[in-house]
A and B are shown apart, each in its own frame.
Chain A
Amino acid sequence: MGKTIAEKIIGEHSGKKVTAGEFVVANVDVTAVQDGTGPLTIQEIQKINLEQAKNPSRTILFIDHAAPSPRKELSNAHKILRDFAKKTGAILSEVGEGVCHQRLVEDFVNPGEILVGADSHTCTSGALGAFATGMGSTDVGIAIALGKTWLKVPETFKIDVHGSFQQGVYAKDLILHLIGLIGADGATYKALEFTGETIRKMPMTDRFCLSNMAVEAGGKAGLIASDEITRQYLISRGRGDKFRPIDSDPDAVYERVINIDASKLEPTVSCPHTVDNTKLARELNDVKVDQVFIGSCTNGRIEDLRIAANILKGKKVHKDVRLLVVPASREIFIQASREGLLEIFAEAGGAINTPGCGPCVGVHAGILGDDEVCLATQNRNFQGRMGNPKGYIYLSSPATAAFSALRGKISDPREVLVK
């Protein structure tokens, strides 16, 4: 019987053939924590005298959620991470280097590996053909210290996508559509495997966007087979030698197969307060926006910034809208600067912030006022997410976000993009 990507990778790491449903202890290649979860991780392993990193060069501590620190409690939390890095030799990703998930795919994770990270969107790295999953502080602490973890081998949903996107429709619209279709708990405990003609042609940036949001359907991982596009990406990152092909077998067993015709999709928006509350952008034309946020581990990559800048170039955002732009990593920031994108955002009236999570998690920089509405390119719109339970968050692609910033209300970007 054939194996899924999840069964293959977990099998290799637990030293035996495994099938969905089995419990195993598996070796872990890469471990990661961020500044919200890391301090507790370190405290937990200190308590049991296990303050150590089994593979320090593959243990990464990210300062990204509250970067730069807006208050002393968080500055002190950052010190805990810096001290641990010094003591163990683990790698520290400092203020301004970027969001953990973007940094992980840029420099740390390779096909066929297992990554466990104390952040729910760790599934992003699944787009490289790695088994990457989010866990809590204690689980990741033990994985850092011992280099292993326990796993239940997940059943897999095959998401088979064919057809080409219409102009103005992107991977973000596809993943929002899928979550709307199966629900915020539609894939709880399951691995999603994105495949089909559309995915095979899709650039890495869009694959990251899909894998990133697997957890918003409850998924444990968002996996994509590694192929020539993955190899080219790794070469561009100086890790061409780390490429290996990972794919599911043709006769692999899936719990569910979902077919999607990408050509039928339209710009899609998640409405407050759940990601699965999706509507089409054109149905939301009467929703005024106070703030537009372009960034995050979902849509803060250079390609996203190019799409937004293309719409904003030479224009001014609506007088009642604040536009916040946060490149997902320092490298993206530099590239955007070289291409003149930051200038376009600033001239359009936007504010550009330090690479990192930005306003996504409601810690600083862009907290909503009561009854205010934000359209964001991030992955989550839960009540209170952007720092105020009385705020309203909508989610969309960078194109929909940029065009809505010009109009002052949620708007379908095909109006400007389709000529």
Chain B
Amino acid sequence: MIKQGKAWKFGDDISTDHIAPGRLFHLRTNLPELAKHVLEDADPEFAQKMSVGDFVVAGNNFGLGSSREHAPQVLKIAGVNAVLAKSFARIFFRNAINIGLLLVECNTDMINQGDELELDLAAGIIKNKTQATKIKATPLPDVMIKILNDGGLAKHIEKYGDFQLV
């Protein structure tokens, strides 16, 4: 699977409060509406400026904070292709894979705002077409690849009626 899109660059420690703020708690049962505010507390105009298929690119510890699955949900619903970061917070990482949002752990220092990226998932390579460079992604654990391939955890359980992961 090849995915292409533009990079939107963020810094370190982007929290779930940046992605899906607590003050919008009442929209949690209305995810399409909440998605209009995705990453609002990091960049108030992000939701308007981004296009479907773009990449969110960040530094360390992306998604730290609360366990709200709404955070990866709104990134996915907004049409973010994948999140690329140097590292991810644990609960966010699990949640994203569970709901089928692609996460790529890689060195994002060589990606700038607006760069055109091409992600080759099978090869685990990110091509930065603007800079003409290639970045290698850290492979996901097998368990998570199985979940992603089944279309998320709920689908996996629906398919097998139980965990078939280990």
Contacts and interface: CB of A to CB of B under 8 A. Distances in A.
A238 interface: no
B33 to A, nearest CB: 10
B165 A36 contact: no
A136 B98 contact: yes
A139 B153 contact: yes
B107 interface: no
A23 B25 CA distance: 34
Contacts of A50: 157-158
A120 interface: yes
A3 interface: no
Contacts of B162: 146
A336 to B, nearest CB: 26
Contacts of A48: 154-155, 157-158
Interface in A263-321: 274
B134 interface: no
5 contacts: A24-B166, A40-B29, A66-B25, A76-B29, A77-B28
Given A138-B69, A383-B41, A185 B61 contact: yes
A387 B29 contact: no
B27 A73 contact: yes
Interface string A115-155: 00111101000000000001111110110001010101000
B75 interface: no
A380 B68 CA distance: 15
Interface of B: 13, 15, 17-18, 21-23, 25-30, 41, 60-61, 64-70, 72-73, 87, 89-91, 94-95, 98-99, 141-143, 152-155, 157-158, 162-163, 165-166
Interface string A33-69: 0001101100011011110000000000000011000
A135 B68 contact: no
A248 interface: no
Contacts of A218: 61, 64, 89-90
Contacts of A146: 157, 162-163
Contact of A142 (B15, B18, B153): B153
A184 B88 CA distance: 12
B25 A361 contact: yes
A363 B20 CA distance: 12
B156 to A, nearest CB: 9
A385 interface: yes
A40 B70 contact: yes
A358 to B, nearest CB: 12
B65 A138 contact: no
Nearest to A40: B69
Nearest to B44: A389
Contacts of B98: 136, 138-139
A388 B23 contact: yes
B27 A37 contact: no
Contacts of A135: 67, 91, 94-95
Closest 8 CB pairs of A and B: A136-B95, A136-B69, A73-B26, A362-B22, A185-B61, A384-B41, A48-B158, A137-B69
B68 to A, nearest CB: 6
A184 B94 CA distance: 18
A40 B28 contact: yes
A189 B69 contact: no
Contacts of A388: 23
B70 A120 contact: no
A318 to B, nearest CB: 27
A389 B21 contact: yes
A387 B25 CA distance: 10
A181 interface: no
Contacts of B94: 135-136, 139
A74 B166 contact: no
Contact of A25 (B89, B91, B99, B166): B166
Interface in A381-395: 382-385, 387-389
